[in-house]
Each structure stands twice: as C-alpha cells, then as structure tokens.
Amino acid sequence: MKLKILVSSDKYKGSLSALQVCNIIKESIIEIDKSFEVIVSPMADGGEGTVKTLVESQGGKYVDLKVTGPLGKPVKARFGIVGDGIAIIEMASASGLALVPEEKRNPMVTTTYGTGELIKKALDMGCNKVIIGIGGSATNDGGLGMAQALGYKFYDSKGRLLGLGGKELAKLHKINASGIHPAISSCKFYAACDVDNLLTGKRGAAYVYAPQKGADSIMVKELDRGLSNFARVVKKDLGREVEKLKGAGAAGGLGAGLAAFLNARIRPGADIIIEATHLEDKIKDADLIITGEGTMDRQTFFGKSAYSIAKLARKYNIPVITINGSVLIGREDIDKNYSGLTDGNFSIINKPMELAEALRTGKKLLKNTVKELITFYLSVIKK
C-alpha cells in the first residue's frame, strides 16, 4: 500500500531538535512499512531553534559574528541564510535574556543594538528578505538600538543624540532617517511573533514582560511612558502608527520598532515558516500529516506550529495527528474551543517519570510511540 506521510514537527525543547524529531519519526515509520513515502519538513514558530531548523532542513549556511550584546558588551551571535537570499535571524541570539546574568537584568539599560548589527550584516551580504524571530528578549527599548545600528539617529528636545536602552525612550523628541542603510528600502522584512500584545498599557510590553527582565514597578511605569512617547514621535516623524498594532509589544516593543523602522510585517512565526518552506505544496497530496511539539497545551492553539499546520491540513481535508513530549489539553477542550482541528494528540510519555528522565530518553520514547501509532494506523486502513 503506497501512502504518503508528511512529518512536520517542531522541536522538543531541551531534548530533540525539530530535524531530529522528524527524522526519528520517519525512521520509525519506515521500519514498520518500507512502502510508505515519508516527507520530512521540520517546523518552527519563529522562536528559539528557528535558525537551526531552517538552515539544517534547507541546506542553508550560518553566518557567525561578534555583535553588541544586551548590556553593551560583545557577544558571539549567528544567523542563517537559506534559499535565494533569505536571512533568518533570532533576536535572542544577540539581544536575548539568556545573555544577561539574573543579577544584571534591567530593561532600562538593555539594548537591541546587536540585533540591528545582525540585520546590517544580512543586508551587506545582499539578502533581499529578512525574517526576524522576536522571542526571548532581554530588552524594552522599542527597537531603538536595532534602528541605531542601521543608521537611524534619535535626538532629545535639546538636539542631543540619545544613548542605548529603554530609559532613552522617554527623552525621544526627533527621529532622523537620512543616514539609514541603503538596502532597507529594497528588502522585505517580517517579524515572526506568537503574541498579539499591543505596545503600551496593561497588556503592553512593559507591564506584561518587563518584570521578567528585571524591572520593578517604578521601572514598568517609566518604560510604559517611554513607549507611549516613542509611538507618538514615530507617528509624527515617520508617519507610522504602531501603538495599536497587534504584536507591537512583543520583545519589549521590538515588534513596533521593526514595523516603524523597517516597514516589517508582523505575522505568526509558524505562518512565515510555512511559506518559507513551501509547506502547503507538500501538504496538498499527503495521506496523513504528523506534527507535534515539546508540550501541547492551550498555547498551541494561539499560533504555534501544530495549530498552523492543522489549519492548513483542514483546508485539504487531510487527517492530522500530533506526537508531543507531553499533552496538557484534553479532547473535549480541543473540540469545544478549537474546532477539533487535530484528529489525535499523543504524548510520548508512557509512564510516570521525572522530567530529566523524559528529556534523556526522548528519542527512545518517541520511537516506541510512533511504532505503536503506525501499527494501529495500518490495521485500520487495511480493513
């Protein structure tokens, strides 16, 4: 029986990369029935692992360089280039929270300057499309530093150049774009984001995310006021409205900065990756789709990889099962609130165990689960 199965899973964080998950699933299926055609297309949602997933699965290359870290000191960072001049950047590589020791976390001073340096390098290399994953930031500067690295100049009311960090936003009075990188106007930019927070207010960048980055209650209020001022000046000098833009509050307002300074489109990361990998063309004639992630929960259905793939599969009436590190949402909840998009959701955990054991034995657990499911699947379709 000739069947085509598309395997398009995200990573199991801390255990297996997306490519490893997909290859283990493929190998396990072939061991059960060699007649199956199994297509592997690793997924990501714009967060951690996106560069690795796309570079490894599409035969791309890495670009390594030293950039300005979130605290202003040099850090090693990298981005990927795939296809015909498409740069894949994770802002966390240059401006991420993991780069800042807990005792030094302070979004008043951290900067996205290094992210701008990654973008500049991609433009210098001739990239005509840049996808920027904006999760895991240590910053709350509205993308000020990123723009500074690309040639934008920011001034206070007395005509003095602004420095780095979120504290500078409240001083912003004028933006000068005359010296920006010449390739910006001819390049398409996309911000890969899985949250829809606005820039300011109680659901904005400062109130929701700044405390995780070291801000106290006084800092939060000051940062929020700064972002409001930032939005006002952006509208005045650049003619772009970012304060009410969905996703503008992601990564400490970097979503707003990318839209303001690079005319970037903010979109769910998974949707961007689906387009970049031409996944819809692979889905169209599949008989079964297998996807998954480390933990399947309610967040899955707010733009994560498995949800985006399931929506696309529904368009072609193709069954979808998910194989995950763990499943924390029930079938009743999925059917009631999320239109029953998936046809089965499975965890590789087959007995009570500590997280450390699950992470350590993930490959074996995944392989055993896949074999059980495919054996059952074959018994059903052969009847």
| Cα–Cα distance measured from residue 76 to residue 230, given in angstroms and rounded to the nearest whole number | 29
| Cα–Cα distance measured from residue 58 to residue 86, given in angstroms and rounded to the nearest whole number | 11
Query: What is the enclosing helix (H) or strand (E) of 87?
Result: strand 86-90
Q: The pTM is what?
A: 0.87
Give the DSSP letter of residue 125.
Answer: T
Beta-carbon contacts of 197 under 8 Å, excluding residues fewer than 6 positions away, are: 203, 204, 205, 208, 209, 246, 247, 248, 249, 250
Per-residue pLDDT, 1: 62
Query: What is the enclosing helix (H) or strand (E) of 294?
Result: none
Per-residue pLDDT, 383: 66
Per-residue pLDDT, 360: 92
Per-residue pLDDT, 74: 98
The first and second tokens of residue 196, run together, are 């829809």
Per-residue pLDDT, 18: 92
Domains of the chain: 4-43+281-381 (3.40.50.10350), 50-270 (3.90.1510.10)
Per-residue pLDDT, 296: 92
Local confidence pLDDT in tens for the 383 residues of the chain: 688 999 999 999 889 999 999 999 999 999 999 999 999 999 988 878 889 888 988 889 999 999 999 999 999 999 999 988 999 999 999 999 999 999 999 999 999 999 999 999 999 999 999 999 998 899 999 999 999 999 999 999 999 999 999 999 999 999 999 999 999 999 999 999 878 899 999 999 999 999 999 999 999 999 999 999 999 999 999 999 999 999 999 999 999 999 999 999 999 888 888 988 889 999 999 999 999 999 999 888 877 889 999 999 999 999 999 999 999 998 888 888 777 789 999 999 999 999 899 999 999 999 999 999 999 988 888 76
